[in-house]
Amino acid sequence: MTKIIGLTGGIGSGKTMVAEYIKSLGIPVYIADDEARKLMMSDKIIKAISNEFGNGILDNGKLNREKLAQLVFNNPEKLQKLNNIVHPEVKKHFYTWVEKHKNYPFVVKEAAILFESGSNKYCDAVITITSPIETRLQRVIERDNTDRESVLKRMQNQWTDEQRIAKSDYVIHNLSVDATKKQVDEILKLLKNQ
């Protein structure tokens, strides 16, 4: 049976880089945030979200992601309501995807909130990526063209590295691209030999 390997880390830790590297080695990688974004454009989810949060988050029948983000990100209760709508759909989509890749010994599920969403329970192993906080801040500020305070707020909504590490099977310390790729190679070798 295909094993599911969770890949997680805080915002700006380097999850995308690691996921892309793993994908380049021919291992299927499911990017949960990207798939959730696509699923949120479906009529079914748009309807459920607008029923929960009102039509003010729609522009011409389409979801206005910025309005929705402003509404939920500093409100844990509203964020939970949104997650309760989106996560079950992502979970169903993921298992359909796994079925399509069942001939692989393992697949990787990259998810920023793997632990927060409880998805780690369905993984055979979890890899956490860490990176110094200042490095993470700089990456996200540049990537999202945002400010330090906004990034820090987003970080506060996620688990800490310490919390993730305590529940992970493998840890990658992302300090440089080459060193990170070496760590990934070592972990993949261990996974293939299990």
Name the pTM for this structure: 0.90
Per DSSP, 157 falls in state T
Which residue, among 10, 38, 43, has the nearest Cα to 97 in the 3D structure?
38
Q: How many whole angstroms separate alpha carbon 46 and alpha carbon 64?
A: 10
Average pLDDT over residues 142-156: 89
- Domains of the chain from N-terminus onward: 1-28+103-189 (3.40.50.300), 39-100 (no CATH)
Is 80 exceeded by the pLDDT of residue 24?
yes
CB atoms inside a 10 Å sphere around CB 124: 14
Q: How many whole angstroms separate alpha carbon 37 and alpha carbon 31?
A: 10
Please give the structure tokens belonging to residue 28: 């299927």
Residues of the chain above pLDDT 70, percent: 100
Residues belonging to the binding site are 12-17
Residues belonging to the binding site for ATP are 12-17
Q: How many whole angstroms separate alpha carbon 130 and alpha carbon 166?
A: 12
Question: Which pLDDT belongs to residue 48?
Answer: 94
Average pLDDT over residues 118-126: 95
Question: Which pLDDT belongs to residue 117?
Answer: 86
User: Which of the four pLDDT bands, split at 50, 70 and 90, describes residue 156?
Assistant: confident
User: Beta partners for 3?
Assistant: 106
Is 80 exceeded by the pLDDT of residue 73?
no
